[in-house]
Chain A
């Protein structure tokens, strides 16, 4: 099994909830799609071409600021459990991990990781550069990934067209190649049934939303990933600042919704959230969706200050480490579905017992 302890904070420093609005916004990610000129795009390339792209990236990266001490994983050489682990930690995409039925694992698939920065190689595009930040920190994330992009672009020739900008395999990414996204927890808007309106207005602003794991994933536990949909025709800064403005507005609406909930249904909400805590604290078997939904409730309770003594950091850790591959990894063996649910309940129980202190 791979050793993720080599990574600073296991590659998930953003879990520490240290960023702005960490109670509502879990993380911010900005990625840039780039291709290396002279090779067919990943999906069309032959094995040899993908390996040459990987070799070029490997040579160029150490001289890029922030990536000097990167840790590399040849994803194509890892067993499925390790690949799932990386995916559950949001370090690689489903496609790169070969977990997407439509896109089998490719030779040359790799990821280079450093503190809050990452480079996926031979994903849908040759390069997916990304920066992750805790909380709501779009500008910082864009600045970090922008620096890496400029440094790498001086060492490798990126595919670029004067009219179309940076060229990508899928036309939905062409131009800036920039996708900025914010992982946000919106239980207030869901409970007050305002969420439909908010999501519809995103569309009108050229934004879109997805579930916890990006494209094609379902919304569970009231976690939404809001991102820009178009990548062409506007400068990078505008794409980022527009998303920033809309997310700031959504955060405000979420806060209002929470106030309304407390005012109009105080004891009902309080009861519901304590029941969620009770279930997590004592259940003997939990499915993933159940755990996500109860965690959402407890997170809301912490946000509303109905519960003391429990940190957002603990809740964030539960979110990541209670996933199937992480549980199997902790147990040191593959688990079937029932075993996974039992292991999940045990893990959640013991974490809450240890880290919730005097919850009241």
Chain B
């Protein structure tokens, strides 16, 4: 879109004014906007990160508010209160809202850095895995997620 004033450069400033109860939209280039005294430079942010995060969280998929992480029991309102997720599983459980949140925070929701493959657990770590499963079972029962608990119990039986 070209600038309404000079008709030469691309319009990057969109100005809404109200004159005599009439709303007018004007599209100006940076230069013409500056000539008319419209402030376009970014000022030093005074808002702490937490305020920004809080605002971003407020807009994130409220439909999922009822959900609970199957591993740690974190809910959306827990996240809203602390600004922190409870475990890696939260990223899977709240995936849809997570993408939107990450886009707001980073302008992007896709990792393009280092790829990573966790080490394969050694045989003697079987007991550790069993321990993790039992831990998850305990958590699932605590948070009354009985379907998850039943599934975990089956997996523990197979391993034992």
List residues of A (209-236) whose CB comes within 8 Å of B's CBs.
Answer: 215-216, 230-236
Does A266 count as interface, using CB distance less than 8 angstroms? no
B84:A41 contact, CB within 8 angstroms: yes
B113:A164 contact, CB within 8 angstroms: no
- CB-CB under 8 A from A297, the residues of chain B are none
A230:B106 contact, CB within 8 angstroms: yes
- Interface size class on chain B is 35 or more
Does A176 count as interface, using CB distance less than 8 angstroms? yes
User: Residues 78-121 of chain B: 1 if any A CB is under 8 Å from the residue's CB, otherwise 0?
Assistant: 00001111111001100000100110011111111110101101
B41:A164 contact, CB within 8 angstroms: no
Stretch at the interface among A8-16, A110-118, A196-204, A338-346: A196-204
B88:A172 contact, CB within 8 angstroms: no
Question: Which of A156, A169, A232 makes the CB contact (< 8 A) with B102?
Answer: A232
- CB-CB under 8 A from A178, the residues of chain B are 113
Interface of A is mostly: loop
A231:B106 contact, CB within 8 angstroms: yes
List residues of A (140-176) whose CB comes within 8 Å of B's CBs.
Answer: 153-167, 169-172, 174-176
Stretch at the interface among B1-9, B11-19, B20-28, B42-50: B42-50
A125 to chain B, nearest CB (A): 10
A266 to chain B, nearest CB (A): 30
Question: Which of A44, A171, A176 makes the CB contact (< 8 A) with B113?
Answer: A176
B106:A163 contact, CB within 8 angstroms: no
Stretch at the interface among A31-39, A248-256, A309-317: A31-39
Does B141 count as interface, using CB distance less than 8 angstroms? no
- CB-CB under 8 A from B72, the residues of chain A are 40-41, 44
- CB-CB under 8 A from A236, the residues of chain B are 113-114
Please tell me the number of chain A residues within 8 Å of chain B, measured between CB atoms.
Answer: 48
A203 to chain B, nearest CB (A): 6
Does A79 count as interface, using CB distance less than 8 angstroms? no
Does A20 count as interface, using CB distance less than 8 angstroms? no
Report the Cα distance A158→B74, complex, angstroms: 20
Q: For residue A125, which residue of chain B has the nearest CB?
A: B84
B118:A230 contact, CB within 8 angstroms: no
Q: For residue A160, which residue of chain B has the nearest CB?
A: B116
B6 to chain A, nearest CB (A): 24
Report the Cα distance A167→B74, complex, angstroms: 15
List residues of A (72-112) whose CB comes within 8 Å of B's CBs.
Answer: none
Question: Which of B74, B83, B110, B116 makes the CB contact (< 8 A) with A233?
Answer: B110
- CB-CB under 8 A from A49, the residues of chain B are 135
A131 to chain B, nearest CB (A): 16
Report the Cα distance A322→B111, complex, angstroms: 42
28 pairs, CB–CB < 8 Å, chain A vs chain B: A37-B88, A37-B118, A40-B71, A41-B87, A41-B88, A44-B74, A49-B135, A155-B119, A157-B121, A160-B118, A161-B88, A161-B92, A163-B109, A164-B109, A165-B113, A167-B85, A170-B85, A171-B98, A174-B111, A176-B114, A200-B42, A200-B43, A200-B44, A206-B107, A232-B105, A232-B108, A233-B107, A233-B111
**Apart from A43-B82, A44-B84, A161-B88, what 4 extra A-B contacts exist at CB < 8 Å?**
A37-B88, A171-B85, A172-B53, A232-B109
Q: Which 8 residue pairs across A and B have the least CB separation, nearest first?
A: A233-B108, A165-B111, A157-B118, A44-B86, A159-B88, A232-B106, A176-B113, A169-B84
